[in-house]
Amino acid sequence: MIMNIVSKKINRLIKMLKWIGIASLIGLVGGVSSIILSLMIEHFPEKNNILLIPIVFFICGLFVDYNIGLKGSGIDRVLRALNNNIPMTWITGLLKVLLAGVAIAVGGSAGKEGPSVQSSASFADELYRLLKLRNRELVIITGIAGGLSGAFAAPLGPAILACEIIEHENFSYVNILPPIIASVVGYIIYYFTTGKRHLFNLYFTYTLHPLDFIWFIIGAFFCSFVAYIYIKTYRKISSTFDKIKLPYCIKTLIGGILVAIIGYYTPEVFGLGLELIKNLFFIKFSLILLILILIGKIFATSFTVGSGVPGGLMIPSMCIGALSGAIFSSIIGANPAPYIVLGIATSLSASTNAPLGGAVLCTEIFGFDFAVPSSIGAVIGYQTTRFDTIFKYIKF
């Protein structure tokens, strides 16, 4: 009897150590992928070059014609591979990171989280086959968490977000443990290499007022409406490009020309949009300019990732949410900071159907003072756009 108990304890310990090792390796790849993308975007010699955008997009399209796994949203490619039992390879993941890095650097409106996720999830899938693991879904969730953690510079929210994207509100307590390990390792690698503790180095506090609760609810509904428009616009443009019977290199060339035109009039839409989000906290933009940038960002992202250029959709979702929050605060004449965070949480939750992960992630990024607007925005964003997500291959 005692021997059986000891044997079970030892087997459980071995299993736990095995998953710690696997999740750590996956998190390492996710963190390194985020570092590569950040360095490429930051140090590319021709940043936000209007003339280069169509050329780079065309080259990306050539690669997509050769390997469809490089197309568009990295998270969507991972979801498609999981749902249809399609094997992923680390070569495709690495190429995705390199192509997305150049496309974003020259001005493509896309996120770095999608390529990071595809890179770490592809490596995770390789481990799944090599080690003959049983639970592919858990391995892929762990890969998603590892990719998100470096991209968002956060150790916990990405793990919850990854579980919610795959399993929604039914994710199990047991399945969150390997993603947390991968997320923590990915964050540690990114932090100690780049020195960036948070996605934004913003050091300010916010004092909550009782009346803010009402305004947060109204603001969350407003930001949810904007997020809904973003989701529908992207899905419509993406499906239109998919229906066009042309090589992807021509589709991405068309997308590049359109993005260059939009960026010529509103250069704020170029790239990741993280600098724009940061500026919204400190620079007062006119209401008209905020609306123009918002419209431009929605269409620039749709024409970038929707045409087939490798990239991500979650950081643009954050940018669009931040703009909608800034617009709402400008309309009511309030301090923009909590409404920008509210908009980010709302848009992130609405576009991914992940309220808990969105709330935790925004609290990690902006601090506990903003936990209330983060939570309200995440819950309302999830409820108002439920079953309408930015990702084509999410299964409900």
> What would the pLDDT profile of 301-345 be if each residue is shown by its tens digit?
999 999 999 999 999 999 999 999 999 999 999 889 999 999 999
Q: Answer yes or no: do 355 and 228 share one domain.
A: yes
- How many structural domains are present in the chain? 2
Provide the CB-side half-sphere exposure for 241 (13 A, CA).
27
CATH code, 112: 1.10.3080.10
Report DSSP state, residue 199: S
Determine the Cα–Cα distance for residues 183 and 174; give it in Å rounded to an integer.
15
Average pLDDT over residues 379-396: 86
Average pLDDT over residues 290-307: 97
Please report whether residue 203 resides in a domain.
Answer: no
Query: Do residues 345 and 226 make contact, with C-beta atoms less than 8 angstroms apart?
Result: no
Please report whether residue 88 resides in a domain.
Answer: yes
Q: Answer yes or no: do 154 and 222 share one domain.
A: no
Please report whether residue 207 resides in a domain.
Answer: no
Please report whether residue 393 resides in a domain.
Answer: no
Please report whether residue 172 resides in a domain.
Answer: yes
Q: Answer yes or no: do 296 and 179 share one domain.
A: no
Please report whether residue 329 resides in a domain.
Answer: yes
Instruction: Show the domain range for 249.
Output: 212-384
Please report whether residue 201 resides in a domain.
Answer: no
Query: Do residues 175 and 141 make contact, with C-beta atoms less than 8 angstroms apart?
Result: yes
pLDDT, the chain, mean? 91
Q: Answer yes or no: do 244 and 374 share one domain.
A: yes
Question: Which pLDDT band, with edges at 50, 70 and 90, does 10 fall under?
Answer: confident
Per-residue model confidence as pLDDT tens digits over 58-105? 999 999 999 999 999 999 999 999 999 999 999 999 999 999 999 999
Q: Answer yes or no: do 232 and 167 share one domain.
A: no
Report DSSP state, residue 50: T
Per-residue model confidence as pLDDT tens digits over 189-248? 999 998 888 888 777 777 778 888 999 999 999 999 999 999 999 999 999 999 999 999
Q: Answer yes or no: do 23 and 156 share one domain.
A: yes
Q: The whole model's pTM is what?
A: 0.93
Q: Is the dihedral of CA 150, 182, 227, 389 positive or negative?
A: positive
Per-residue model confidence as pLDDT tens digits over 130-170? 988 888 999 999 999 999 999 999 999 999 999 999 887 77
Q: Answer yes or no: do 188 and 218 share one domain.
A: no
Per-residue model confidence as pLDDT tens digits over 256-280? 999 999 999 999 999 999 999 999 9
Please report whether residue 115 resides in a domain.
Answer: yes
Domain boundary among the residues 167, 194, 221 is at: 194
Tokens of 292: 């123009």
Give the model's pLDDT for residue 3: 63
Q: Answer yes or no: do 349 and 269 share one domain.
A: yes
Q: Answer yes or no: do 237 and 166 share one domain.
A: no
Give the model's pLDDT for residue 57: 97
Give the model's pLDDT for residue 6: 67
Residues 6+ apart with CB under 8 A from 50: 107, 260, 263, 264
Number of other residues whose CB lies within 10 A of the CB of residue 132:
6
Determine the Cα–Cα distance for residues 222 and 347; give it in Å rounded to an integer.
10
Q: Answer yes or no: do 275 and 138 share one domain.
A: no
Q: Answer yes or no: do 17 and 140 share one domain.
A: yes
Q: Answer yes or no: do 42 and 123 share one domain.
A: yes
